[in-house]
Amino acid sequence: MENIIEVKNVSFSYGQNQVLNDVSLTIKKGEFIGVIGPNGSGKSTLMNLIIGKLKASRGQIYIFGESIDKLKQKHLIGYVPQRSFSFNLSFPATVFEVVMMGLYASIGLFKKPGAIHREKVHDALKIVDMYEHKDTLIGNLSGGQMQRVFIARSIVSDPQILILDEPTVGIDARSEKNLFDLLEKLNKAGITIIMVTHDIMAITEKVSRIICLSGGKVNEHCTAIDLLEAGASDLYGYPVKLEKHEHGGEKL
């Protein structure tokens, strides 16, 4: 299978704070990757490097074999940021208008969208099952519905890679299941998916591979303990180490 993303010896610092230290990984076309790790381990930073929003202090990132700095077809990477940062919900935009924003890069901000663009928006809304809400104001949707709209906005430009940063935060269990089913459908349709999540139980079932970030490094061979630790740390808000209990099982 073709390598669609290659991260080679990447380091990144915010000022004096080194977040990633010589990270290397490859992702193949068609994979469904779960990215986990304790709070602050650099998951969002890594995603921002992959989409080209941040620049590595050292190392290289290749997308479709092309250096991310030189990649012209940025629309081939869809990105759904953490919901809390992604949108001003009091902005009076309809679902249709929000999804149309995903096409601005290709139609130009001040040009009028044509019938073909409207059709693309309709198609994306049908895929995420939100077509009947197309005229609803975005601020009036539930968390799960909003997340589907943001996914529609990121797939409307026909990306080959879809990156989602904690898409299940703040949505109920039923919406979460629907969301994972949708991601599975998109993955089966050929989109390579990378999802940052704390939802350990869900990802072990759905994803084809898990990448663990901790201590500035990547560890592709996470054990169940790593996964539980990451989840426990998020639950408690500070790093939690699990140790084997002498009678078997794990204790916090």
Nearest to 24 by CA among 51, 48, 58, 53: 58
Cβ of residue 236: shortest distance to ligand ATP, in angstroms?
Answer: 13
Does residue 238 belong to the site contacting ligand ATP (CB under 6 A)? no
Does residue 40 belong to the site contacting ligand ATP (CB under 6 A)? yes
Which listed range, 26-34, 43-51, 97-105, 240-248, lies at the site for ligand ATP (CB under 6 A)?
A: 43-51
Please say which residue, 103 or 213, places its beta carbon nearer to ligand ATP. Answer: 213
How many beta carbons lie within 10 A of that of residue 102, not counting itself?
A: 23
Nearest to 192 by CA among 42, 64, 41: 64
Please say which residue, 132 or 220, places its beta carbon nearer to ligand ATP. Answer: 220
The Cα–Cα gap between 191 and 159 comes to 7
Does residue 39 belong to the site contacting ligand ATP (CB under 6 A)? yes
Does residue 41 belong to the site contacting ligand ATP (CB under 6 A)? yes
Cβ of residue 158: shortest distance to ligand ATP, in angstroms?
Answer: 27
Applying CB under 6 A, among 3, 9, 14, 105 the residue interacting with ligand ATP is: 14
User: Are 164 and 195 in contact, with CB atoms under 8 Å apart?
Assistant: yes
Cβ of residue 14: shortest distance to ligand ATP, in angstroms?
Answer: 3
The Cα–Cα gap between 170 and 163 comes to 18
User: Are 95 and 135 in contact, with CB atoms under 8 Å apart?
Assistant: yes
The residue count for binding ligand ATP (CB under 6 A) is 11
Nearest to 244 by CA among 222, 220, 224: 224
User: Are 54 and 46 in contact, with CB atoms under 8 Å apart?
Assistant: no
Applying CB under 6 A, among 25, 27, 31, 45 the residue interacting with ligand ATP is: 45
| Residue type at position 40 | G
Which listed range, 33-41, 116-124, 130-138, 244-252, lies at the site for ligand ATP (CB under 6 A)?
A: 33-41
Give the count of alpha carbons within 13 A of 34, CB side only.
24
Which listed range, 34-42, 69-77, 128-136, 220-228, lies at the site for ligand ATP (CB under 6 A)?
A: 34-42
Task: Output the six-digit token pair for 16.
Answer: 């004096």
Cβ of residue 215: shortest distance to ligand ATP, in angstroms?
Answer: 12
Cβ of residue 92: shortest distance to ligand ATP, in angstroms?
Answer: 29
User: Are 157 and 78 in contact, with CB atoms under 8 Å apart?
Assistant: yes
Does residue 236 belong to the site contacting ligand ATP (CB under 6 A)? no
Applying CB under 6 A, among 34, 42, 102, 144 the residue interacting with ligand ATP is: 42
Nearest to 187 by CA among 201, 208, 204, 205: 208
Using CB under 6 A, list all residues that contact ligand ATP. Answer: 14, 17, 19, 37, 39-45
